[in-house]
Structure 1
Amino acid sequence: MRIISTAYYPVTGFSDPVQWLERIDFYTCILEALATRAEVHSLEHIGIRTKLVRKGVHYHFRSLGPVSRRLPFSNHRFIRSLQPDAVLVNGISVPMQVLQLRAALGSKVKLLLWHRDEKPGGRVRTQLQRLADSTVDGYLFTSPGNAAPWLKKRILKPDRMHYLLHGSSVFLQGDGMGMRRQLQWEHNPIFLWVGRLDANKDPMTVLHAFERLLRLHPEARLLMAGTGELEEAMKARIAASGPLSVSAKMLGALPHRALEPMYHAADYFVSASHYEGGGIAFCEALSCGCVPVYSRIPSLMHLAGNLGASFVPGDVAGLERAMRVALLPELVSQKEAVVQRFRESFSPEAIASGLITILSGR
């Protein structure tokens, strides 16, 4: 089976293909696992033209400008020249391109569209997507809850829905004592938060809830990695609070691989998001054995299963209660179960196996 992965979004800020592939290792690890069972090609658009083979995957770096993004004739001819059995399209809000891709490939090639974080659009796009829907063999969503708005508006058909996370983790469970010593928090329960500092990710709710937690558990500690528009307000909030200034650290923007020792050091991963298409940082935390404390949104509920503790998005008191529950012995002992859930359901191998099953019609 020959499988092609493509997208219609150009990327800026990268000129080194290897650096780019390392930046998106949460996705390329799935392609690499898939390459053990099929011939896999991936089209990448970072503004250069080159090709390379890496861990069994054939990467083709091709241009994608403002016009060719909407009218990708050249890329579609190239995809057709590879004679694929299936094409994975990253993103579902590209109906014009999907219609053109189907016209270029004919009816026999399977088309799967992988939902990222898109929400249903306006009237014109909705009509186009309903038209494109007739040409698509399947859609990949993280969870039924993520697909629900599309089904409710009858944009997509329920018989074409499949549920697979659009990214995984290259991180593994490891010893975090070295990082704990560096932080001088060897014996403290550590909560970790990773993401953009914006209203949707809602890190301020995490700070408020953690400050309340410190009244009963002054030994607890919080690490927050990321940057964004709320960064200065959060720094000011921590500086103004005696308990937070001792027990919370903002790490700023870290290189992706620098996050792994943070996951190893942490006991818990906190996510307060109001919406997530998937939850890559959440998945990375699971792979390292962090017990999840998370907002009750469809994608995170699906990822966590019956593990960890949850709360209603935006509920400071609810998050504090969830953190207190997480500190109970029965949740502390969930670390191995968390890693097992990742391996069975969200590892690169598990996702690749799910793709093969879908494409094989089994």
Structure 2
Amino acid sequence: METSIISDVHVAFVSHVFHSKKTPEELLEEYFTIVEWVTAIFQQGVKVSVIYRYSRNYQITKEGVHYYFIADKKATNSKSNPGVFYRDVKRLLTELEVNVVHLHNIRDIRTNIRLKRVFSKWPMVIQDHGSVFKRDSLKDQLLKPLLKQGLSHMDRIIFAAKGQEEHWIRNKIIRKEQCTFIMENSSSFRSMSRDACREITKLTGQPVFLWVGNLNTNKDPITVLGAFQKILQHYPQAKLYMIYRLNEMGNIVKQWISEHQLDKQVFLLGSKTREELKFYYNSADYFLSASHKEGSGYAAIEAMSCGVVPILTNIPSFVSLTDGGEVGALFDSGDSKMLCKKILEILEKPLPEEQSRVLAHFEKCFSAEAIAKQAIQMYQEVLTK
């Protein structure tokens, strides 16, 4: 990309989700994935502004990116009519000489239809975050014409991985030429000394398996536990550590572990802070996820950024992350036997070589710099179409 062309691009990230209880600084901490995305784009030479709907006017500049918090005095929550907010945003976009608008939430019908008129002078891209159109849902069928109307004018619709767009195209809501594929986030974690990190976390095992994800039916911890139980027949020194924030299946998981007498092989660690997580990832050898669906799979991305070998389900985002299973391994959702087989296969490969392949693949395809370059190429395409 030529520097002169890149410097002509000014992207505005806009969200009408209303915030009032947290400070702007706390919100940037909460939305760290967006902060990392826009910072990486700025570091490639593109001007970036981020605009949020807030209870008062406020502005922050962080690592070169300008964050504008626009007051909406009439709003009480995110469902409040954002008409006044978008009127003020339109004025700000003109003042800032923005030439591409980056939006979120492809299912926000009312807003997406409204913005066809309000932002008519700017190219618009909109980012999906794991939404699904359910063909067998009466509600979705009734909403179909409005969803199509709200997305028809979008210059690009960003999906995290190829395959996530199929049901939208098949149901004639969006067009194939609108779609582009960019992972929705990266990870700022980096590989560190396993020995040093295990001194901190006290994780032991030969090998060490790690789970990071809520204990619910979508994440499917029982499939992982079933496979791990079989792995112990071949690798009796193996350990599985499970980190989670929400535990709606917590009692079921605890009962399963107790009934199968795995109390000394499976450890439920509960929630960990982001600062703590980087040490746990860097204490693990293999990362396990049995998710039936994911928008991207942020825990898997974090694990890979630390060189942890991923063993994941065969769903679009994980197919993308693993290059179709060439890096790490893939198994069918809910198939404990297949997961066990894939684990045994990958355990036969030298771990240092597999870790190096994971890190190289992450840096090439999913580092902040790699994702930023993909995004910039998309912005340039919509500006020259």
Partner of 1:91: 105
- Structure 2 distance, partners of 1:189, 1:46, is 48
Partner of 2:336: 316
Partner of 1:240: 259
Partner of 2:125: 112
Q: Does 1:194 align with 2:201?
A: no
Deviation at 1:329, TM superposition (A): 2.2
What's the C-alpha RMSD, in Å, of the aligned pairs?
Answer: 2.2
The match for 1:162 among 174, 180, 184 is: 180
Q: SS state of the match for residue 219, structure 1?
A: coil
Q: Deviations over 1:240-294 (max 9, x none)?
A: 333x211111111112222111111111111100011111111111111111101
Partner of 2:3: none
Verify the 8 A CA contact 2:220 2:290 in the aligned structure 1.
yes
Partner amino acid for 1:251?
Answer: L
- Structure 1 distance, partners of 2:83, 2:201, is 53
Deviation at 1:198, TM superposition (A): 0.8
- Structure 1 distance, partners of 2:362, 2:190, is 10
Deviation at 1:209, TM superposition (A): 1.3
Distance change >3 Å, CA 254–CA 187, structure 1 → 2: closer
Q: Deviations over 1:37-92 (max 9, x none)?
A: 22212123576653211112212234674676463222212321222211111221
TM-score, normalization: structure 1?
0.92
Verify the 8 A CA contact 1:198 1:230 in the aligned structure 2.
yes
Verify the 8 A CA contact 2:17 2:78 in the aligned structure 1.
no
The match for 1:204 among 213, 222, 246 is: 222
Q: Does 1:17 align with 2:28?
A: no
Deviation at 1:30, TM superposition (A): 0.8
Q: Superposed, which structure 2 residues align to 1:54-203 within 5 Å?
A: 54-62=62-70, 65=75, 69=79, 71-80=81-90, 81-83=92-94, 84-107=98-121, 109-120=122-133, 122-182=140-200, 184-186=202-204, 188-203=206-221
Structure 1's consecutive aligned runs of 4 or more residues displaced over 6 angstroms after TM superposition are none
- Structure 1 distance, partners of 2:18, 2:345, is 44
Distance change >3 Å, CA 70–CA 265, structure 1 → 2: same
Distance change >3 Å, CA 185–CA 97, structure 1 → 2: closer
Q: Superposed, which structure 2 residues align to 1:279-294 within 5 Å?
A: 279-294=297-312
Partner of 2:36: 29
Give the length in aligned residue pairs: 359
Deviation at 1:325, TM superposition (A): 1.6
Partner amino acid for 1:224?
Answer: M
Deviation at 1:178, TM superposition (A): 2.9
- Structure 1 distance, partners of 2:55, 2:360, is 39
Partner amino acid for 2:156?
Answer: G
Q: SS state of the match for residue 144, structure 1?
A: coil
Q: SS state of the match for residue 164, structure 2?
A: helix
Q: SS state of the match for residue 130, structure 1?
A: helix
Q: SS state of the match for residue 265, structure 1?
A: coil
Verify the 8 A CA contact 2:205 2:238 in the aligned structure 1.
no
Deviation at 1:303, TM superposition (A): 0.7
Q: Deviations over 1:123-143 (max 9, x none)?
A: 232211211232110011112
Verify the 8 A CA contact 1:326 1:332 in the aligned structure 2.
no
Partner of 1:301: 319
Distance change >3 Å, CA 185–CA 195, structure 1 → 2: closer
Partner of 2:380: 360
- Structure 1 distance, partners of 2:352, 2:196, is 20
Verify the 8 A CA contact 1:176 1:262 in the aligned structure 2.
no
Partner amino acid for 2:332?
Answer: V
Partner amino acid for 1:321?
Answer: K
Partner amino acid for 1:229?
Answer: E
Task: Determine what percentage of the aligned residue pairs are the same residue.
Answer: 27
Q: SS state of the match for residue 82, structure 1?
A: helix
Deviation at 1:330, TM superposition (A): 4.3
Q: SS state of the match for residue 266, structure 1?
A: coil
**Unaligned runs of at least 5 residues, structure 1:** none
Verify the 8 A CA contact 2:211 2:242 in the aligned structure 1.
yes
Q: SS state of the match for residue 165, structure 1?
A: coil
**Unaligned runs of at least 5 residues, structure 2:** 1-8, 135-139
Q: SS state of the match for residue 282, structure 1?
A: helix
- Structure 2 distance, partners of 1:228, 1:286, is 24
Partner amino acid for 2:149?
Answer: L
Q: Superposed, which structure 2 residues align to 1:201-350 within 5 Å?
A: 201-226=219-244, 227-242=246-261, 244-305=262-323, 306-330=326-350, 333-350=353-370
